[in-house]
Structure 1
């Protein structure tokens, strides 16, 4: 598909979603047109990420995709926090974490493995990712364990302290992985594929595509809530799976495209890196932002959410720690995701 036709499809789908959102009252039509627009916009973001990664390397390219992809979630969650909808925020955070580790990584490993018998990425990076995922899991479990022994104000204070520690740890991880020890965490093999655009245009395309994904994602979230309630789905299922899948559409597209081009390192960085960024930066940031509105959002997650995050972390570490992947490991990740999705549906 040539670029002119591609951008005509992107622009046309966005225009159709905008018309439906502002001028039509049928929520199912709004949902369908917004979902169609997300598909094309996510493909645009995927091409932008791949082009940026050509110049900056898979690590930085994946980090940029995770960051820009999570920007939409952070913006939407900010307004939910402002409205005091803390349970919905926590459910969407849970869904984003397990969605990236199980759905995005699972599909990437499966499709990449069907094309290439075995794919490899930096094993040292896999080890550090495992340690960071364990840190995030510990940070989420501790408040839930101590909640019954502490008054509400102490739980809020504990949440704030943990939030600050996690943000500091994440910033130090970025310094470690991209400055002081970047040579140990670089790509195993260089990639010779040509970039779609120049460096400046690639960055501009990444920013623009992320902006439009954020806009349409917000439209889609508003429609999907009404549609799913009409269908009788629970708020926990909607927050943890429906909204999370929609919010991560950009990462899905970029990771899959890269994995199918034998660039599993970048796909892993997008999937696991995005989960880590949500757990270590986005969630703690929302806790601190809630202070601006006079009511602290604690970091205490429900037993269902903690179980889901714990299971996702365990299977992801088990599969990714050796730095190699194959299609069957993708099947295992997707199987766990389907099990969790079914359990949340029946809660």
Structure 2
């Protein structure tokens, strides 16, 4: 089976890292022959996938250039692929628009988080393109409910496949953690965008710094970086940039004493699973998708800086390591996707 996977961009963020892990596992185990299709050329992480042996298709045209839609249709209907699988709103919309018409390959669409803020026109697009969709995938029950609610998808065609992690990489350190003489290190990983809630973390940090010896490190890139750095002036908070390699992320996590994720919304956050697999105490929000990620994680309501500060204070003074829930390998994730692809193909036959 040949499957082409369509993404709008391919930065080294959560969805892309999940897809990369699955494609490498699928190719290595012979479950299907993957091709990665990225709608914007020159993404460094996509080039890493190509260097790893995953065939790559890219488009140089801008978002507004209609030739990109034509080129995408030409690629997807070439007869080279048995299934088309797109992920995230932009790629999902463009992929299905390019395949309008009576003759098309089976189409699988993935949603990765609960986006209840999605505009009414965007929701209308999702519903209008339902006839061009054979199966949907969400990475948590909350996301599956979102797909049914927003896309109008039949529940019987919506599949839940939880994220995978590589437990060879994400594991506790091989040596006992040394007694720390400096500040307690609290950290997070995520795109620097409003939905991740790092502005709330900064306000929580402001109330902790006067009486706790702590420092904060937020790893990631994004449009909000300058605004967050301005907000954090005078506080022991650093923004060192992004980490592309999973091993680098794991090494960073193992330098922390407490992990925090202050998101306003999620699907099933990779980094909570990864932090718990590394044996860290986890403080996160009660956002969709997070509650089922880790046992013993301390959860607070989104946008509640005082509650976040109180939970962090408790974990600094009385740390309790979290445990990941429902962890599976990328090989298992690939097998579950293969079953969905087979069901989509059967529906079109």
Fold shared per TM-score above 0.5: no
By percentage of residues, which structure has more helix?
Answer: 1
TM class by shorter chain equals under 0.3
Tell which has more relative contact order, 1 or 2 (C-alpha 8 A, sep 6+). Answer: 1
